[in-house]
Structure 1
Amino acid sequence: MDSGRVTDFLVEDGRIAATGLDLPAPAGAEAVDATGMLVSPGFVDTHRHTWQAGLRGMGPDISLATYLDLVLGTVGPRYRPEDVYTGTLAGALECLDAGITTLVDWNHIQHTPEHTAAAVDALKVSGIRAVFGYCSHKPELARRVQASMGGRVTMAMAPFGPEIAGEDVALDEWRIARELDLSVTVHMGGHGKESAARGLDFLRRNGFLGPRTSYAHGNHYTDEQLKLIAGSGGAIAVSPVVEMELGIGAPVTARARKAGVPTGLGADTVISGPGDMFSLMRADYAHMRLESDLTARDIFRAATEDGARVAAIDGVGTLETGSHADVVLLRTDLPGVAPVHDPVASVVLAMDTRAVDSVIVGGQFVKRDGRLLAPDVSTLLTTLAESAARVTASA
């Protein structure tokens, strides 16, 4: 997305096969004219509770404690497998509509194996590239879920411990991740300084401090603790709007990057924040500029290439030859967007979901000419509204 750069992309078998000017089109290939548009890697959401799409905007002014009581204590227990399916499918399509092609779905609505299967099925049907964050300390269940992965959906371990569920549960969770060779996405560092220190010490003592680990939030880590995470190969998923809105803490992006920790962006929950990457980029950029000289390009990388590192998934977040053909075409002919002087600045500071003209995942269109290609979106949204009305009754 360098200013003034015009190029062609050749996509074969779901990957970018070549880039350059005037590439010859193979026989039978479809030519897509993106003249006047910006061609971007698909965005990577590194931390989202996707099933909560039907709870949008329920908690604009609440605290973390109130959020947890609402989700884990009141509304969450009312979810049936069909509610999980509907919410997850709607949430995944919301991502695709906004140009998010890769999603880390931190799924903590797994009341039964049927709830888990419903979430996985919804991700597969949506067409998004997803890392399914599985919460369980029972190895036989984890192995069964891992065997159900397929297509664009892979699995990560999503431990509740050591900071939420405690160290005994955490030992089982992290051992399962190691046994099944899974990456880890975990809520850590967002529950106060003492909890952050205890959690990292637990990982260090038990040999779990290592790569392919994404720490969601991390707001209360000291600079030295961030350097420890950097040295171990870990990464941090920052949810800038929700972290500030729920009072979790100031986003750690600038300090983490200074310490050498890759950072990505995540919506976390649409209960208390927006679900599109443009809003997340702007919020994190504005906060970051208060305390550092990091740039719009740094934030764009967090939403794409660095986000892929946080998600521990290869071949996404870039437009390099060999990468998955996960591509977003962005309109520049809109009021509030035109004219474009700096493409990256336009994406980070000026654009919103109106600009997302087309979205390609694995070489296949999932949105084209401003319209999602998924069937029966209107029916899905009606079902989502009915599900939301049921689970939130008297909440």
Structure 2
Amino acid sequence: MRTLLRGGIVVSMDPVIGDLSRGDVLIEDGRIAAVAVTIDAAGAEVVDASGKIVLPGFVDTHRHTWQTAFRGIGADWTFAQYHAAMHGTLRPHYLPADVHLGNLLGRVEAVGSGVTTMVDWFHCADRPENADAAIEALREAPGHSIFCYGANSQDEITRVRAQLPGDDMMLGLRGPQRAPMDDVAADVALARELGLRVSVHAHTAADGGVDRRPIAGMYDRGLLDDRTTVVHANGISDDQVAMLAEAGCSVSISPDVELKMGFGWPETGRMLAAGIRPSLSIDDCPSAGGDMFSTMRTALAVQRGLDGGLTTRDLLEFATLDGARACGLDARTGSITVGKDADLVLLDAEDPSVFPVGDPVGTVVAAGHPGLVDSVFVAGEAVKRNGRLLGVDLPALRARVLASRDRIAAAAGVPVDGSWTPQLS
């Protein structure tokens, strides 16, 4: 099957191809076959991309997708309140069906806003059936999804790994701020045995006496390498940043949640100065929006306010190619490069909120929003066209998610109208 995207503004994120003010992209058998000003592809299905910005799909390297049904409920919460509410109060009432619906809606939302690759950092791991339900939803929804399993049982991790070969799984470490270092070492050893990349939360936000040098502890035990993604890393010391760089780790920045919840300044600039190309992530939709546009804009504005550093192209690279590198998928996705999967997003460049487009990269980062997403292709298959998701019964899904949310909230005895302030013990 051949598809030709004709006449778009192509932002390839490939240093050789660069940007094309008017260009064509040819898709063959799910991969990018050619990128040029003009391509003659007789017999190909032609998609008119004139008036559109053609981008590689976004890569979200850390999202707790199971929480999607409680969108917006935690917009005013601190991290301690979020943890008490989502994990202490609501999570015990989640059934596998609720997990499935949260993951399904969250993944549909993500791909609809241009996130073609997403790491689902799953820690609603109270029972094996929850993990099975989460995986089923990710398979049902369009997009490349990586199940990052934050289970406490090595037997359970091994069981799920048998279902998810290749690059479809990561291990979500409990980490030194949640578990003894010997347990962290055992988990990393299992991940290496099973061929899994790992992701671990680490920061110095006030959180009940956590380890203030989590990176140093892992570094000293040889638990960090280029298969490790550290989530947040707010407030870690300069020597620990250097340890991450030396070990070849990646870092996932969630700027909206980090600022709102009191983690401190996003560490985008510090990581970049140390030679670490960070990636970007949403984190959780109870507290933040689920799109990469607002995430890029927050990260840019904060760092420019702090030190004048970063450019819009930096941010777009964090959200695409650097995200793919963090997942070990940069040979497969993250840029519009011949041979890679055709993971592509078409944005409406004629919408009044962005027209006229001069610098497409600056426009996407400074003014982009999900309403611009006209089309999304995943491995060459259209999953959104003309602003509409394909193959998704949204009215039915909305009804099921509302019923799930209301059941969980009633069981927990909490309101969902924003009036709930979680109490800390």
Give, in whole Å, the separation in 2 of the partners of 1:37 and 1:319.
Answer: 15
CA contact (8 A) 1:3 1:341 kept: no
Q: Report the AA paired with residue 131 of structure 1.
A: I
On the 8 A contact 1:137/1:172 being kept in 2, the answer is no
Match of 1:177 among 185, 191, 200: 191
Does the 8 Å contact 2:321/2:335 carry over to 1? yes
Write the distance in 1 (CA, Å) between the matches of 2:41 and 2:158.
44
Offset from partner CA, 1:28-68 (integer Å, 9 cap, x none): x3111101110000011111101111010111111111100
The residue type paired with residue 337 of structure 2 is E
TM-score (norm 2): 0.89
Partner of 2:422: none
AA matched with 1:224 = D
Among candidates 303, 310, 315, match of residue 288 of structure 1: 303
User: Over aligned residue pairs, what C-alpha RMSD do you find?
Assistant: 1.8
Q: What pairs up with 1:3-18 in 2 under 5 angstroms? A: 5-18=21-34
Residues 252-308 of structure 1, C-alpha deviations (whole Å, 9 max, x = no match): 001111111121111101111111111101111100102232111111111111111
Q: How far apart, in 1, do the equivalents of 2:391 and 2:165 lie?
A: 19
Does 2:110 correspond to 1:90?
A: no
Say whether residues 1:163 and 2:177 are aligned partners: yes
Instruction: Give the superposition deviation at 1:3.
Output: 5.9
Shift of 1:83: 0.3
In the other structure, the counterpart of 2:36 is 20
Equivalent residue letter for 2:342:
A
* Residue 208 (structure 2) pairs with residue 202 (structure 1): no
CA distance in structure 1 between the aligned counterparts of 2:257 and 2:273, rounded to whole angstroms: 22
One-letter identity of the residue aligned with 1:17: A
For residues 285 and 154 of structure 2, what CA distance do their matches in structure 1 show?
31
Range that drifts further, 285-294 or 240-249: 285-294
> What residue ranges of structure 1 are gaps of 5+ in the alignment?
none
Segments of structure 2 that go 5 or more residues without pairing to the other structure are 1-10, 12-17, 415-425
Tell me the distance in 2 between the aligned counterparts of 1:76 and 1:199: 26
Q: In structure 2, how many angstroms separate the alpha carbons of the residues matched to 1:247 and 1:191? A: 7
Cα distance in structure 2, aligned partners of 1:372 and 1:337: 22
Contact (CA 8 Å) 1:89, 1:122: kept in 2 or not?
yes
Distance in 1 of aligned mates of 2:383 and 2:211: 40
Q: In the alignment, what sits opposite 2:377? A: 360
Give the Å deviation of 1:200. 1.7
Superimposed CA distance per residue, residues 106-132 of structure 1 (whole angstroms, 9 cap, x where no aligned partner): 000111111101101111110211111
Secondary structure of 2:290's match? coil
SS in 1 for 2:335: coil
Identity of aligned residues (%): 40
2:391 to 354, 370, 374: 374
Give 2:6's aligned residue: none
User: How many aligned residue pairs are there?
Assistant: 393
8 A Cα contact 2:100 2:136, kept in partner: yes
Q: How does 1:273-352 map to 2 (within 5 A)?
A: 273-292=288-307, 293-314=309-330, 315-352=332-369
Q: What is the CA–CA distance in structure 2 between the aligned matches of 1:287 and 1:184, rounded to whole Å?
A: 28
Once the two structures are TM-superposed, the CA of residue 26 in structure 1 deviates from its matched residue by 5.4
Q: Deviations over 1:326-371 (max 9, x none)?
A: 0000001111210111000110011211110000001101111000
1:269 partner letter:
D
Deviation at 1:197, TM superposition (A): 4.9
Describe the SS at the equivalent of 1:32. Answer: strand
Q: Is the counterpart of residue 154 in structure 1 residue 171 in structure 2?
A: no
Structure 1 segment 182-197 matched on structure 2, within 5 A: 182-191=196-205, 195=210, 197=212
In the superposition, relative to structure 1, how do residues 256 and 192 fare at CA in structure 2: closer, same or farther (>3 Å)? farther
Q: Which shifted more, 269-278 or 171-180?
A: 171-180
**Deviation at residue 176 of structure 1 after TM alignment:** 1.3
Output the amino acid matched with 2:107.
A
Aligned to 1:127: 142
